[in-house]
Amino acid sequence: MSKVVDTIKTIISKLSKDKFKIMLVAIISMLAIQSKAFANSVVNVDINGKSNDTIEIIILLTVLSLLPSIVIMMTSFTRITIVLSFLRNAIGLQQTPPNQVMVGIALFLTLFIMSPVISEINTTAYEPYKQELISQDEFYKRAQEPLKGFMLKNTRPNELNMFITLSNNQEVNETQDLQKLPLTVIVPAFMVSELRRAFIIGFLIFIPFLIIDTVVSTVLMSMGMMMLPPVMISLPFKILLFVLVDGWSLLFQTLIKTFQF
């Protein structure tokens, strides 16, 4: 091995810079041609004694890498996260609860809300596919239907009609059955509807805390305490109000009831 390395070093030292560049380009070109030929060839991988196409494995890995985006865009996660962020800002707590706790709460509330959809996907799509009763294409088709149903129930008609019009697709415009609409139309319409509802809920959350801030600021001004920050006085009262009305239970109950199943 050492003799081979010494030989290569000797050849490189005798080559000029231009010749070395040409040689390097030739080697890279050969590797590119070989990799292209390898990509065009059919490669099968055996998993548990079953032959699997490499393309199918790549598609599966791609879906798994996009799973966080799917959870954010096609479930109740977005509305819950935004509302919790509004609540924290309304109270005036910048880092309490921490972001990890907020995301954890939103994730488990999402699992609770989406459990009927997950159960339906498991029954109608995953179990038949696992038992090899349906093909992979049929599995994807059946798995989309419960998600489409959930998103359509929680999407405002205005947003849905807007994206149907913007799609410039004659088939989409003439579709009477909303379940047959593609995900490229349903998902953005659902996201816009979720953002709108989340901001409306956040506005309603801000109102009682804004009243407390106004009252405290007015009292301090009337007492001549202009140098005392109103936040130092209003923050304990806002926390006390939130605890007395059992704010967390009330918020979670209201959030769950805002979704249509």
Cα separation, 103 vs 259, whole angstroms: 19
Q: Is the pTM of this model over 0.85?
A: no
Residue pLDDT, tens place only, 150-192: 888 888 888 888 888 887 777 666 677 777 788 888 888 899 9
Phi, psi of 52 (to 5 degrees): -125, 130
- 142 pLDDT more than 90: no
Where do we find the tokens 């096609």? Answer: 74
Which of 125, 127, 153 has the alpha carbon at shortest distance from 141? 125
Residue pLDDT, tens place only, 215-235: 888 887 777 777 777 777 788
Q: Any idea how long the chain is? A: 261
Contact residues for 51 (Cβ-Cβ < 8 A; gap 6+): 44, 45
Q: Which residues pair with 55 in a beta bridge?
A: none
pLDDT class of 97 with cuts at 50, 70, 90? confident
- 245 pLDDT more than 60: yes
Mean residue pLDDT of the chain comes to 76
